[in-house]
């Protein structure tokens, strides 16, 4: 039987304010008090996994051990059919600035431009279908864990549109819609996103009944 979180304080293993806001909103109806790893001053572990599951578990266990609290980690990414599934697990790496490109940090416009540039190299008729993947991992300080996954299919658009969301959201048009994730109101995005799909499985197991 899967261990239950209950009404507890939960560390969200992220330093990304947008991701924290989205996850906290999804958990709010269940009485979970969320605090980010960034707010607690926890270091970001190196993501050495080669799959979303490996990286999510790595981050969740690191945060749970450091904070001595249950921790939830998300590892998600964009996979583009015409790019053989890239950037995939290396989604965030594509946004990393090099030292000669300015201050350290992530430049998501640069990352989106890299995706678009590689697609343009393949011509005007290139397949722009893609999908977002999300893996949510819960870890407890004693080492117990649980994993949930979700997916959202869509297409790449250019130029970027919208100011909500984060990451690659401004170029991702979800299947069945004509607005990007960054144009959709947060409540509407939460109903259809890859993260929402993974959360639906988490909620069904953790909070049902």
Q: What is the mean pLDDT of the chain?
A: 90
pLDDT digits (tens, 9 = 90+) for 45-81: 888 889 999 999 999 999 999 999 999 999 999 999 9
Position 114 scores a pLDDT of 94
More confident residue, 104 or 154: 154
**pLDDT greater than 90 at residue 145:** yes
62 within domain boundaries: yes
Position 7 scores a pLDDT of 64
Position 9 scores a pLDDT of 87
188 within domain boundaries: yes
Considering the chain, what percentage of its residues have pLDDT values greater than 70? 94
- The CATH number of whichever domain residue 170 belongs to comes to 3.90.950.10
20 within domain boundaries: yes
**pLDDT greater than 70 at residue 100:** no
1 within domain boundaries: no
185 within domain boundaries: yes
**pLDDT greater than 60 at residue 102:** no
132 within domain boundaries: yes
pLDDT digits (tens, 9 = 90+) for 21-45: 888 888 888 888 899 998 999 988 8
Tally of domains within the chain = 1
2 within domain boundaries: no
149 is catalytic: no
Classified as helix, coil or strand, 87 is strand
- Domain hosting 111: range is 9-206
* Torsion angle in degrees (nearest 10) through CA of 166, 117, 149, 70: -40
4 within domain boundaries: no
**pLDDT greater than 50 at residue 107:** yes
Tokens read off for 187 = 């409540």
CA distances from residue 90 to 3, 48, 77 in whole angstroms, order as listed: 31, 10, 7
The H or E element containing residue 138 is strand 129-139
CA distance 10 to 146: 14
Q: Which pLDDT band holds residue 20 (cuts at 50, 70, 90)?
A: confident
CA distances from residue 76 to 133, 134, 142, 167 in whole angstroms, order as listed: 5, 4, 25, 10
**Catalytic pick from 33, 74, 75, 149?**
75
CA proximity to 134, closest of 21, 56, 20: 56
Q: What average pLDDT does this structure show over 99-123?
A: 81
């Amino acid at each position: 039987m899967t261990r239950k979180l209950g009404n507890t304080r939960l560390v969200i293993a992220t330093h990304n304010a947008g991701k924290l806001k989205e996850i906290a909103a999804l958990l709010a109806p269940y009485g979970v008090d969320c605090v980010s790893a960034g707010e607690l001053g926890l270091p970001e572990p190196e993501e050495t996994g080669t799959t979303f599951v490996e990286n999510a578990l790595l981050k969740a266990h690191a945060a749970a051990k450091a904070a001595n609290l249950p921790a939830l980690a998300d590892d998600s990414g964009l996979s583009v059919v015409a790019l053989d599934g890239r950037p995939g697990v290396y989604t965030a790496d594509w946004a990393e600035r090099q030292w000669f490109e300015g201050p350290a940090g992530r430049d998501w416009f640069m990352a989106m431009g890299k995706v678009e540039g590689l697609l343009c190299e393949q011509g005007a008729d290139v397949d722009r279908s893609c999908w977002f993947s999300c893996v949510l991992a819960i870890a407890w300080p004693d080492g117990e864990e649980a994993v949930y996954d979700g997916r959202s299919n869509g297409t790449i658009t250019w130029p970027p549109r919208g100011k909500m969301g984060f990451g690659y959201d401004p170029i991702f048009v979800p299947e069945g819609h004509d607005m990007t994730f960054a144009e959709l109101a947060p409540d509407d995005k939460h109903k259809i996103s890859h993260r929402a799909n993974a959360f639906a499985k988490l909620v069904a197991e953790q909070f049902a009944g």
